[in-house]
Chains A and B, each alone.
Chain A
Amino acid sequence: MSTREIFDSRIESGLLLLPTLLVTVVFLYYPTALAFRTSFFDSSFGRAEVFVGLENYVELLTSSGYHQSIIISVVFAAVVVVGVVVVSLYLTFLIHEVDTGQGLYLISVIWPYALPPAVGALVFLFITHPTLGVLTGPIESLGVEVDWFNNGSQAFVVVALAAIWKQIGYNVIFMIAAMNNVPDTLTETAELDGVGGLRRLVSVYIPIMTPTIFFLVIINTIYAFFGTFAFVDLLTSGGPSNATNILIFNLYQEGFSFFNFGIASAKSVVLFVIVGVLMFVQFQITDKYSYYGG
């Protein structure tokens, strides 16, 4: 029983809910169920589906290439999540502390987030291209040979940097709001006590901002696993030598380059389970350390 009767009848409220329900079911729950089903079949274009039971999963569990992809994805996600949160916190702090031109700094930080991922990836390609990139010269002058088309670790770093760079804006928007919510008197008390800037950030602001940071860690984790596809696709295509072949790109290739829909579906189920488990662990850990103040 609802406490407020807004609609005349159940039919009216049901009709209004229908579009949302329809979209969710057709584009989310139905494909999820279908992917789960397909993961038990050998399925591709031009031939009949054959039920193979757990064979697809067995293949994934025994494939060293897939194991490597899982490790790369987890490391990539860790680097991206930590990188995004740390860099965003520091930038937010700088913007929070600056007296003039706050809006301008904020806009320039948020700008990359406003770009579509594919455009962001292309922009980053031209920033760091081994021969054409605007940053390549300065970096090489430091004695580092920029060769990420062939060097796997460099490629990993470049994709991770691009992913971090793109996501900072989103984080800063939330963080600046949270930081501005910290009462001014706390800042002033710290100033009077001679608490230095970074100490103030770490010991005063961050603990009070933990609910926001916790939320961002979750969002960034999902982003690192699913949202970074465009960077891998456009910058490295998973290479060189699978050094940047994270799970989301791996399953895309399996499905849409090799047309092994059964295996690709199994991979998407595995990815779903990994991210789900990570979420659960994060909720357990961060909830304990979050301060929900009064």
Chain B
Amino acid sequence: MTTVTLHNLRKEFDDVVAVNGIDLEIVDGEFLVIVGPSGCGKSTTLRLLAGLEDATDGEIVMDGRDVTAVEPKDRNVAMVFQNYALYPHMTGRRNITFGMKSSGDFTDEEIDRRVEEAAETLDIADLLDRKPQAMSGGERQRVALGRAIVRDPDAFLMDEPLSNLDAKLRIQMRAELAQLHTSLGTTTVYVTHDQTEAMTLGERVVVMNDGRIMQVDEPQTLYDFPANRFVAEFIGDPAMNMLPVDIENGTAVHDAFTIQLPNADGGVRNGAKESGDASIRDGQRAVLGVRPEDLYMATDRPNTGDETLNATVNVTEPLGDSLLLHCSIGETPCKIQAKARSEIRPDDTVSIAYDPARLHLFDPESGDALYHSESYASSESAAAAADHG
């Protein structure tokens, strides 16, 4: 049970800044996911936590103890790697016990007992006498997890542990990891580039880019209230549409349409949430963000109001559960998730309706969020209403 705090943590490799002064508080027992594109510094952050890299600046505090300069072995953390990092010449059992035996902190009976427990938790009893070569990817990752949990560490650090597994197994292991965390309750920091993994596993998700933290929030909040354009486009698949607009009298004006912005004086909840300077002004340029799943054919939802916009379909991609349309609204490319089996062909012009509660505005220069059409409070009340309905 451990709280981990990062203060202004910085890591440079020669002239490359991998981690650029991040502050983060990891709560005791939390499942925290760090997500971001390749090279964003997420793995380096994890390796700094493990002590496998030395911080250039800043500090790492675990349970009030400054561990920035502490050796990896004295931090009592366990790491799970993408390539499993099993010793290829050792059986599953020896892989699990090797570290414990070498450190000399455990008696043989204690080790045996813990291995049995871990084997039961992870259902790997029949793998203990096999070498990694004779195991499948999923089995190897289970043994690697077994090695991590037997030591009863203060924190689990996982570096893309599911990336080497095939899609089906990944989904299964994802659920098992979540279950494991629920039963063990150990503080877990999980690094991935896969936003679906981040959203499904994380109690809180840290989105990183260029060595900086872009936003830390619960998954649904990240999705509903992205603090900036990067988070908006990174979280969600397909990515959020971005349409350049001008703000005039509480409306967003694009070459091809005009949209009334509900609660236009609302400002944003995230980022500069308390300060008023993030609110939108007339005459301002902005980028309107709207997710493909919040746009639909006006004919499918006749009750959403009069406000529709016209789009020209360029390409259609049937995804099975939906039909993804690559369109142009004016000159701006835009994706729309339409109903599966819709009779839409390329070059059709379609009338699009949108969910007025799901509009976002971003600053065109800084990318910071200026406005979310739904305020946080109203989203909660809406959720409550939905529960009662």
Contact = CB atoms under 8 A, between A and B. Distances in A.
A193 B98 contact: yes
Interface size class of B (residues with CB under 8 A): 20 to 34
Interface in B80-120: 81, 83, 85, 87-89, 98-100, 102-103, 105
B319 interface: no
Interface in B200-233: none
A219 B78 CA distance: 41
A103 interface: no
Main secondary structure of the interface of A (DSSP, over half): helix
A291 B87 CA distance: 11
B133 interface: yes
A278 interface: no
A234 interface: no
B83 A183 contact: yes
Contact of A195 (B51, B81, B89, B99): B99
Interface string B61-81: 000000000011110011101
Contacts of B147: 189
A223 to B, nearest CB: 27
A293 B133 CA distance: 8
B33 interface: no
Contacts of B77: 192
Interface-central residue, B72, B83, B89, B105, by most chain A CB under 10 Å: B89
Contacts of B88: 208, 291, 293-294
A186 interface: yes
A191 B72 CA distance: 6
Interface string B273-300: 0000000000000000000000000000
A114 to B, nearest CB: 32
Nearest to A186: B85
A194 B102 contact: yes
Interface string A163-201: 000000000000000000001011011111111100100
A195 B104 CA distance: 9
Contacts of A291: 88-89
A188 B79 contact: yes
Main secondary structure of the interface of B (DSSP, over half): mixed
A189 B52 CA distance: 10
Contacts, number: 67
A195 B85 contact: no
A192 B133 contact: no
Interface in A192-215: 192-196, 199, 203-204, 207-208
A199 B102 contact: yes
Given A188-B79, A294-B133, A194 B85 contact: no
Nearest to B102: A195
B324 interface: no
Contact of A188 (B52, B71, B100): B52
B73 A188 contact: no
A199 B99 CA distance: 10
B191 to A, nearest CB: 14
B79 A195 contact: no
Contacts of B74: 194
Contact of A183 (B85, B102, B103): B85
A191 B88 CA distance: 17
B274 to A, nearest CB: 41
Contacts of B87: 186, 204, 207-208
Contacts of A183: 83, 85
A207 B100 contact: no
Given A185-B83, A293-B133, A294-B133, A193 B102 contact: yes
B50 interface: yes
A42 B240 CA distance: 95
Given A183-B83, A199-B102, A293-B133, A192 B89 contact: no
Contact of A191 (B52, B78, B81, B133): B52
Contacts of B105: 194
Given A199-B102, A294-B88, A192 B73 contact: yes
Interface in A86-124: none
Contacts of B73: 191-194
A208 B52 CA distance: 22
A207 B89 CA distance: 7
Contacts of B99: 189-190, 192-195
A195 B103 contact: yes
A191 B54 CA distance: 14
A194 B133 CA distance: 25
A239 to B, nearest CB: 46
Nearest to B81: A185
B236 to A, nearest CB: 32
Contacts of A191: 52, 71-73
Contacts of A186: 85, 87
A249 B33 CA distance: 69
A204 B90 CA distance: 9
Nearest to A210: B89
A189 B102 contact: no
Nearest to A204: B87
Nearest to A294: B133
Contacts of A293: 88-89, 133
29 contacts: A183-B85, A185-B81, A185-B85, A188-B52, A188-B79, A188-B85, A189-B79, A190-B99, A190-B102, A191-B52, A191-B71, A191-B73, A192-B50, A192-B51, A192-B73, A193-B73, A193-B99, A193-B100, A193-B151, A194-B73, A195-B103, A203-B102, A208-B87, A208-B88, A208-B89, A291-B88, A291-B89, A293-B88, A293-B89
Given A192-B51, A192-B73, 20 more contacts: A186-B87, A188-B72, A188-B79, A189-B79, A190-B99, A190-B102, A191-B71, A192-B77, A193-B99, A193-B100, A195-B98, A195-B102, A195-B103, A207-B87, A207-B89, A208-B89, A291-B88, A293-B88, A293-B133, A294-B133
The 4 closest A-B pairs by CB, nearest first: A193-B99, A194-B73, A185-B85, A194-B103
Interface of A: 183, 185-186, 188-196, 199, 203-204, 207-208, 291, 293-294
